[in-house]
Amino acid sequence: MEFKETIRNLEPEIIKSIQESIKIKSVEETPVEGKPFGQGPYNALVYMLKLGENMGFKTKNFDGYAGHIDFGDGDETVGVLAHVDVVPEGDGWTYPPFGGEIHNGRIYGRGTMDDKGPAVIALYAMKALKDIGFVPDRRIRLILGANEESRWECMKHYFKNEEPPTMAFTPDADFPVIHGEKGIIGFDFKFPYAGTTGCDITLLDIKGGNATNMVPDKAWSKLKVADKELFISQYDKYLVGKDHKISIEETEEGFNVTALGISAHGSTPAKGENAISYLIGFLGYIYSGQCPVCRFINFYNERIAFKHHGEDVGCGLEDELSGKLDFNPGLISYDGKDIILSVNVRYPISSSAEEVFSGIRESIKETPIELVEGSIDSRPLYVSKDNELVKTLMKVYREQTGDMDSEPITIGGGTYARAMKNAVAFGPVFPGQEELAHQKDEHISIDNIIKLTEIYAHALFELAKH
């Protein structure tokens, strides 16, 4: 069945809808009644449900946690799982992160690729099928969550109230097909620090990062110094031969120090430049001795900084199916009593959270560092390459792209596919395409919008017919 002309006619509507969705700042906020993740995610969810309703589809809002949009009937269901919330925007954007502006044939904004753009595209793929008169044998259901970027309470609530689809894909990763995803855990390293050091420089405060599943692009510390001229001299020497950005601002007490990095998705820490690591690298240069904060700085610089696989903190795990563990120190803070470093880990498919934690506990037992284990363990996903869902999506991908060489892959990212059985991730990032999720200047090209709509329409057609 041919969709190209129908989809091409829908192009202005698709572009407008993506722009309108991007303009809704759907970063998680303080809950209010009926809006469990705050006003922004709620508005984004309602926008999508209203858009589906205006297309003539049946919709349902599940208490502001999630919603779905239905096309057709049937005892079996083909699901598309997408989310409308986004991570914080971060700094350094060329164009407004919630502007939805078009430049050079691209729509810019937080969520254009992760995951509002693909959510809108999947909905218009459903509309294209409806417009050509297709009657699905299996109901097609677009399921929308509103806090995928944090705790997944949206999917927990949804699947308490609805049966999962017979099969599903999520447009929230890479092509060709993601048949395996690493496990995901978060935890804290806690370091007791009373605020005095015994050094000529006292660390008064430290902050960095926007979310644990983002490589931090900014980190900051407040220092009290005994000798300002000496400090400036040390700073100038440190900068020699370095191309990353460390800046200082003099205050009455001493100096504020700011480090800038480059954000990336927490599942691919090597693709970013961690501002926390840059900042603590500088602190390691200006601090010396065995004062309490020196011990933390040395621990970080020797065993964590720019080591993306946990190899020096006891969790350098690896398997043939999914590769090395990914280790992202995403947040740092000081609460007046402890320095807290929050870490996001993606562990190999054949490993477990306990294997990670036991290795770390053993590694740090001779240090003052305390491991605070997180309560969430998003266990690995694995679907065989011989599964009919995987085979059908691979067939569609190859037919639509002409790429006959690619095979199903595994990733470190976590998608809604692991929220149910018989689900995989399918796009939207093509092989070789720059990964833009969680980065500044996130964008989607208009050419790819149309191509993705064609791919998802064909995929839904193949999956929804007997």
pLDDT tens, N- to C-terminus, the chain (466 residues): 678 899 999 999 999 999 999 999 999 999 999 999 999 999 999 999 999 999 999 999 999 999 999 999 989 999 999 999 999 998 889 999 999 999 999 999 999 999 999 999 999 999 999 999 999 999 999 999 999 998 899 999 999 999 999 999 999 999 999 999 999 999 999 999 866 666 788 899 999 999 898 999 999 999 999 899 999 999 999 999 887 789 999 998 899 999 999 999 899 999 999 999 999 999 999 987 677 788 899 999 999 999 999 999 999 999 999 999 999 999 999 998 899 999 999 999 999 999 999 999 999 998 999 999 988 888 999 999 999 999 999 999 999 999 999 999 999 888 999 999 999 999 999 999 988 988 899 999 999 999 999 999 999 999 999 7
DSSP 8-state assignment for residue 306? T
- Residue 117 · residue 111 · CB < 8 Å: yes
Residue 293, token pair as written in the block: 């904060």
The SS3 of residue 250 is strand
Write down all domains in the chain, each with its CATH number in brackets.
4-180+381-464 (3.40.630.10), 184-378 (3.30.70.360)
245-250/218-225 β-pairing: unpaired
Instruction: List, by residue number, the catalytic residues.
Output: 85, 148
Tokens describing residue 38: 């705050």
CA distance 224 to 227: 9
Residue count (the chain): 466
Residue 96 has a CB neighbour count (10 Å cut-off) of: 14
Residue 286's nearest CA partner among 211, 361, 203 is: 203
| Element (DSSP H or E) covering residue 134 | none
Q: In a 3-state reduction of DSSP, which class is residue 412?
A: coil
Cα 397 from Cα 401, distance rounded (Å) = 6
pTM of the model: 0.85
CA atoms within 13 A on the CB side of 121: 31
